[in-house]
Structure 1
Amino acid sequence: MKDIKIGTTDLIIIIIYIIGILAIGLFSVRKNKMTSNNYFLAGRSLKWLIVGTALFASNISTIHMVGLAASGYNEGLVWGNFEWMAVFTLILLALIFAPFYFKTKISTLPEFMEKRYGPASRTFVAFMGIVAALFIHLGMSLYAGAVVFESFFGINVYISIFLISLITAIYTVIGGLKAVMITETVQTVILISGAVLLTIFGILALPEHGITSFALFKAALKEGQLSMLHSAASIKALSPKGADSGLTWYAVFLGYPVLGIWYWCTDQTHVQRVLSARSLEDAQKGSLFAGVLKILPVFILILPGVIGYVLYKDIIGTDANQTFPILITHLLPVGIKGIVAAALLSALMSVVAAALNSSATLVSVDIVKRYRPKTSDKEQVLVGRIAAVVIMIVAMLWSTQGGNFASIFEAINKIAAAMAPPITTVFLLGVFSKRGTKEASIITLYVGFLLGIISFCLDYVPISGKMYITEGLGIPFMMQAWWLFCINCLIYYIVSYLTPKPDPEAISQCTWDSPISVITQGKFKGIGDVRFLAGLLLIFLIIMYAIFR
């Protein structure tokens, strides 16, 4: 990646940002008595605005900012489906899942699994949550971010990993979830501001290159580069390996919800922000606000890559990963570069802090407290802090192996496609089906993960030597997720009807009476009603898809 020269002014801005984030994180909890409730759930006191911005920040990493620009350069807005379909799953989080998470007063997602299915399912989901946080959210984010920062500062990747980990761990370990979420709110503002500035400077540079109208801009692009929805033929025309990406319109609408429900509705790293809300309404509105924010990346993270194709394709050539640094080098003046660099730091630190705190919560609440019920409140906090330090160290060590992967994006996507289907199945069917049994849950989880591992190994080149499913059978990773989900649903229902029906009273707080109850239950509160707001957001999403189809 092309080196970016950081001047004194920009460096001062970056240093001020780092000191400021540390100060905000520690200052935000200075008067708090550090109980387990405060440390792991921010005292369940946060308003919807903080919940929403923290949800958004816990998702957007440094590699998103660089990777989405590269994707925009190569294939265009089609990669925005990962952002816009997240809006749909955040609506599901607000309407379908959040009411039960609050009603059952859970601290972790595995705890909900125990209330719905029993302790075996809780143990399994807790273990998988820690694995996901450690190997995906922490390890790969650290490595990818360090590679980016090597371009900015010329610092060795391993030193970058150490410095970023140390800075983030200080306020996360000491301050707990409230410190993490307050800093994430600030980081969201910086992240969006930096991305917006880069987009604006890119648009302002177009006339200098002879692009004075939208028609000229579109004419300078590849066919379909501004389209969100593609057939297999049209996506392949954009990129030789386009069809293998699994971004056809039907793969997006069938496969992404399987990944998205796991990622946004059942993963501790993200849902912990919802559990910290002061009320159910704040949790729901926070989820919807995060959905509103997820509309933005198409225009401030992917569109700059499309603009980069118009402005600098002769410089960038076939190395799309150069898009982001070249945009910064050629477009941004002194001072603005520092803000964008701070935005990159914000993206990485927010993801790392979120994963670190959530995994520490799982260790303390779902493992230590569960198997040692007499653990005191003070001991729980101590265990959480120790777990955070240990997990951070392990993640740092694992992240140094990132260079051994041919493609980090490929590895993450395929891991997600393997992990998501069984968890999505047991959570989604668990809240809608009163017939679902504890045996159905645990068998679906075990068999589903076994099938996921098999599909991962068959399709991951460093292991199998060939992509047997994607290339051999023509089934890309998102469609693999969809078909695995269908198989898991079949397993779930077969086992449910072969095993004793659960006690309706025991699971009444964990299931909807019927699917329509999501909309009809409770008195309508006017235009501020969560259901009305969710409907508006869904309509807006449909309109956006109609415009950019």
Structure 2
Amino acid sequence: MNLSQLDTSVFIVYVIGLLLVAAWVSRTEKGHQRDTSDYFLAGKALPWWAIGASLIAANISAEQIIGMSGSGYAIGLAIASYEWLAAITLLVVGKYFLPIFLAKGIYTMPQFLEQRFDSRVRTVMAVFWLGVYVLVNLTSILWLGGLAIESVAGVDMFFGMVFLALFSVAYSLYGGLKAVALTDIIQVTLLVVGGLILSYLALDAVSDGNGMLAGFVTLTERVPEKFDMILSPDNPHYASLPGLSVLLGGMWVMHFSYWGFNQYIIQRALGAKDLNEARKGIVFAAYLKVFLPIIVVLPGLAAAVLYPSLSASDQAYPEMMKLMPTGLKGLIFAALVAAIVSSLASMCNSISTIFTMDIYTHLAPNRSQRHYVNMGRMVSLSALGIAMVVAQPLLGQFDQAFQYIQEFTGFFTPGIVAIFLLGLFYKKANGNGALTAAVGSAVLSFALKILWPELPFIDRVGLVFLACLGLGLLVSHMGKGDGEAKAIHLQDIHFASKPSFNFAALGVVIILAALYATWW
């Protein structure tokens, strides 16, 4: 599939417009020198709408749009649990985790770990996250983004990767998190509008031109098995989404690791004006997560009816894009690229923040704020260069690059969640207990994968998490209270939330309960 001249023109207008907006929001007052707070945390002045939009823009990328649509094609609506349970996770993070992080005044998650445990834990986790972000996340975003551009626009994959890297650098390198977050409202708006248009056209095609509602009814009648939210053990995709374990087990561990303790995500909330503004942004993001399956899953469900014989499920979204008329196809392509470059920019900003604030400032202390900001910019460029070089060797062997992400990060996710929960809520937790949980996560995950290969991935994550939590508790308890000196005194943290937050959170829960009750 190639883009017409009109589609290309629409896309060029988007690129130029975004660069102009990024340049405008990145400007500084005359005489003001941008410091690390400005560059890495947007001066701690982000409004709620920028926080919420940026959370989603950072989360949604090529693997999310194309992969989720492909999973919708193969598995059905059950894959939406990744989106809907994330909405609940966000509310818990906003209510119970953010108050602690903001009270500590941190820049990074490793910084919190040093405050709570010791410098060993900070350094180990900083190095770990840098490795994962550069060699797994950043690389996969570039690789899958290049594949997406090749399949949609017919541009060679390598040149597509180069374009994505240069585009993300052009609008984010100078302004830092502020440029990323404040332009993400454009990215999310484009993503939502373009996605809704595609979903409408898909449902209209399913109903043979009788409209969206008729198309949805036809879907439920033609492929009723695709609307089972809880898969039974005899379902061929049970290993991917193992029944009630989705609601009660390891998926929660994955979500809390991603949405609660992940620098790439939580950095937006750390840049909020205050706790109430951060919570409003969290609720906004939660409602967007409830809504997202309409954009990222529904096209795959429609493709199951319109194109039941695709050779690969991930072809569903590019195939559905062919329904778009000239001009609108350029809009959808712009939305897809918007999702990719916003994720790239967010990832680069988080990489530069962790390296600069957790590693470089200790190696080169007492340098100027300008020096640290420039170092952050150089780190962003270096990370993109490394990702470009290693993308083919690391990901070229995988039929689905998303598997690479899940397999690698899934070995460490249980330990990360155990470390943070112990640090937040167990006064006796110490550095040895945290490091034991981290090492135990990798060792136990590899052991279970080898010794119990038929165990579903989500169940393995849940079991390893419980084991890591137990190991952390045991080793910390043996430390005879040496962790209590740095314990968090929860009675000093302001957990109370405004009625508006509570009411909005209740709305999310009611909507999700209704959705699960309808398609149980």
Q: TM over 0.5: same fold?
A: yes
Sequence identity percentage? 27
Deviations 1:233-252 (A, max 9, x none): 2x32xxxxx12324423144
Alpha-carbon distance in 2 for matches of 1:113, 1:153: 44
Map of 2:13 onto structure 1: 16
Map of 2:295 onto structure 1: 300
Give the CA deviation at 1:541: 2.1
Alpha-carbon distance in 2 for matches of 1:432, 1:487: 17
Alpha-carbon distance in 2 for matches of 1:216, 1:452: 43
Alpha-carbon distance in 1 for matches of 2:133, 2:71: 25
Map of 1:494 onto structure 2: 474
Whether 2:156 is the aligned partner of 1:166: answer no
Map of 1:147 onto structure 2: 147
Alpha-carbon distance in 2 for matches of 1:179, 1:350: 10
State which of 327, 346, 353 in structure 1 corresponds to 2:345. 353
What aligned pairs does 1:119-268 form with structure 2 within 5 A after superposition?
119-208=119-208, 212=214, 216-221=218-223, 223-233=224-234, 235-236=235-236, 242-268=237-263
Unaligned runs of 5+ in 1: 237-241, 459-467
- Asked if the contact 1:88–1:538 (Cα under 8 Å) also holds between the matched residues in 2, the reply is yes
Unaligned runs of 5+ in 2: none
Alpha-carbon distance in 2 for matches of 1:23, 1:419: 40
In the superposition, relative to structure 1, how do residues 126 and 453 fare at CA in structure 2: closer, same or farther (>3 Å)? farther
Map of 1:540 onto structure 2: 511
Map of 1:370 onto structure 2: 362
Alpha-carbon distance in 2 for matches of 1:364, 1:216: 54
Alpha-carbon distance in 1 for matches of 2:226, 2:491: 45
Partner SS for 2:84: helix
Q: Give TM-score, length-normalised by structure 2.
A: 0.94
- Asked if the contact 1:259–1:416 (Cα under 8 Å) also holds between the matched residues in 2, the reply is no
- Asked if the contact 1:437–1:500 (Cα under 8 Å) also holds between the matched residues in 2, the reply is no
Give the CA deviation at 1:371: 3.1
- Asked if the contact 1:364–1:383 (Cα under 8 Å) also holds between the matched residues in 2, the reply is yes
Give the CA deviation at 1:148: 1.2
Whether 2:332 is the aligned partner of 1:340: answer yes
Whether 2:20 is the aligned partner of 1:28: answer no
In the superposition, relative to structure 1, how do residues 543 and 79 fare at CA in structure 2: closer, same or farther (>3 Å)? same
Partner SS for 1:196: helix
Partner SS for 1:508: coil
Alpha-carbon distance in 2 for matches of 1:192, 1:155: 25
Give the CA deviation at 1:416: 2.2
Map of 2:425 onto structure 1: 432
Amino acid at match of 1:141: I
In the superposition, relative to structure 1, how do residues 9 and 91 fare at CA in structure 2: closer, same or farther (>3 Å)? same
- Asked if the contact 1:78–1:247 (Cα under 8 Å) also holds between the matched residues in 2, the reply is no
Alpha-carbon distance in 2 for matches of 1:113, 1:324: 41
Map of 2:283 onto structure 1: 288
Give the CA deviation at 1:453: 4.7
- The alignment covers a number of residue pairs equal to 514
Alpha-carbon distance in 2 for matches of 1:126, 1:531: 34
In the superposition, relative to structure 1, how do residues 351 and 497 fare at CA in structure 2: closer, same or farther (>3 Å)? same
- Asked if the contact 1:469–1:476 (Cα under 8 Å) also holds between the matched residues in 2, the reply is no
In the superposition, relative to structure 1, how do residues 216 and 404 fare at CA in structure 2: closer, same or farther (>3 Å)? closer
Alpha-carbon distance in 2 for matches of 1:79, 1:312: 19
Partner SS for 1:38: helix
Deviations 1:48-96 (A, max 9, x none): 1110110011000012211122111111111111111111211121011
Alpha-carbon distance in 1 for matches of 2:284, 2:127: 30
Map of 2:461 onto structure 1: 481
Higher mean C-alpha deviation, range 243-252 or range 336-345? 243-252
Amino acid at match of 1:147: L
Give the CA deviation at 1:255: 0.8
Alpha-carbon distance in 1 for matches of 2:445, 2:375: 32
Whether 2:54 is the aligned partner of 1:54: answer yes
Map of 2:435 onto structure 1: 442
In the superposition, relative to structure 1, how do residues 213 and 394 fare at CA in structure 2: closer, same or farther (>3 Å)? closer
Map of 1:407 onto structure 2: 400
Map of 1:423 onto structure 2: 416
Map of 1:99 onto structure 2: 99
- Asked if the contact 1:418–1:455 (Cα under 8 Å) also holds between the matched residues in 2, the reply is no
Map of 1:462 onto structure 2: none
Give the CA deviation at 1:400: 2.5
Whether 2:429 is the aligned partner of 1:469: answer no
- Asked if the contact 1:115–1:507 (Cα under 8 Å) also holds between the matched residues in 2, the reply is no
In the superposition, relative to structure 1, how do residues 406 and 206 fare at CA in structure 2: closer, same or farther (>3 Å)? closer
Alpha-carbon distance in 2 for matches of 1:370, 1:376: 13
Amino acid at match of 2:432: E
Alpha-carbon distance in 1 for matches of 2:410, 2:375: 32
In the superposition, relative to structure 1, how do residues 225 and 123 fare at CA in structure 2: closer, same or farther (>3 Å)? same
In the superposition, relative to structure 1, how do residues 373 and 531 fare at CA in structure 2: closer, same or farther (>3 Å)? farther
- Asked if the contact 1:252–1:478 (Cα under 8 Å) also holds between the matched residues in 2, the reply is no
Partner SS for 1:378: helix
Give the CA deviation at 1:502: 3.8
Alpha-carbon distance in 2 for matches of 1:216, 1:67: 24
Deviations 1:220-262 (A, max 9, x none): 11x42012222222x32xxxxx123244231443011111111
Give the CA deviation at 1:36: 1.0
